[in-house]
Each structure stands twice: as structure tokens, then as C-alpha cells.
Copies of this chain bind each other. A is one copy, B any other.
Amino acid sequence: MSTELHELIERLRTFADARDWQQFHSPKNLAMALSVEAAELMEHFQWLNEQQSQTLSATQRQQVALEMADVFLYLLRLADRLDVDLMASARRKITLNEQKYPADQVRGRSGKALQAD
């Protein structure tokens, strides 16, 4: 695991320990909390059109950045509880995606169009 991610993971573990919150942090509960935070992030975009979602105000961008942080922090907590190396998994998944979606075969077509192949 990267040194920087490890530093965050350690801070989160200390945070949970100091509050006796490890008891609530089963992987099941952390996955729920992560999903709730992902929805809170998405909520910022739900009534915007795609163009508007690319041109947020400074205030919106700051709020969105903190929602992204919430998702990230629960992801790191979950990685800690399950002893998953998030950087290694991410690299592995990109490699799998590169093999699954050869550029010259999928160019300009989105997921659903591909599934209809």
C-alpha cells in the first residue's frame, strides 16, 4: 500500500479507536456507509444537466470535494478492515479493463452499447 494512503488509513484507525467506533465498523456497515456517501455525492448532480455538472461554482466544487472525501475515507476504512491493498487492486483492475475493452473495438461506444454486442 502506498505510504500516503497508509498514513490516512492509520489516522482513520486511530480516530475510530479513540471513539470506540470499531464495533460499528463491520465490513457490511462500512459498505453501507460508503454507498450512502456515494449517493450524497451524486445528489449534487441529480438536477444538473451534464454540461452544468462540468462547470460547478467554487462553492459547489468545495462541497463536492468533501463528499468525495467521505467516499474515499470509507473506502480506506474498508480496505483496512478487510486487509485489501487498494493501490494494487486498482492497478489490477485497470489492466483487466484494458484487456476487456480493446481501444480499437470499443472506440466511442458506451457500456450499454457494448453489452448489446
Chain A interface (Cβ within 8 Å of chain B)?
2, 4-5, 8, 11-12, 15, 18-21, 23-24, 26-29, 31-36, 38-51, 53-54, 56, 61, 64-66, 68-73, 75-76, 78-79, 81-82, 84-87, 89-94, 96-98, 101, 103, 106-108, 110-113
Contact = CB atoms under 8 A, between A and B. Distances in A.
19 contacts: A4-B4, A8-B87, A12-B94, A19-B106, A21-B110, A23-B108, A24-B110, A28-B49, A31-B38, A31-B44, A31-B45, A34-B42, A35-B38, A36-B42, A36-B46, A38-B39, A66-B89, A70-B93, A72-B90
Contact of A82 (B56, B81, B82, B110): B56
Contact of A111 (B47, B53, B108): B47
A45 B27 contact: yes
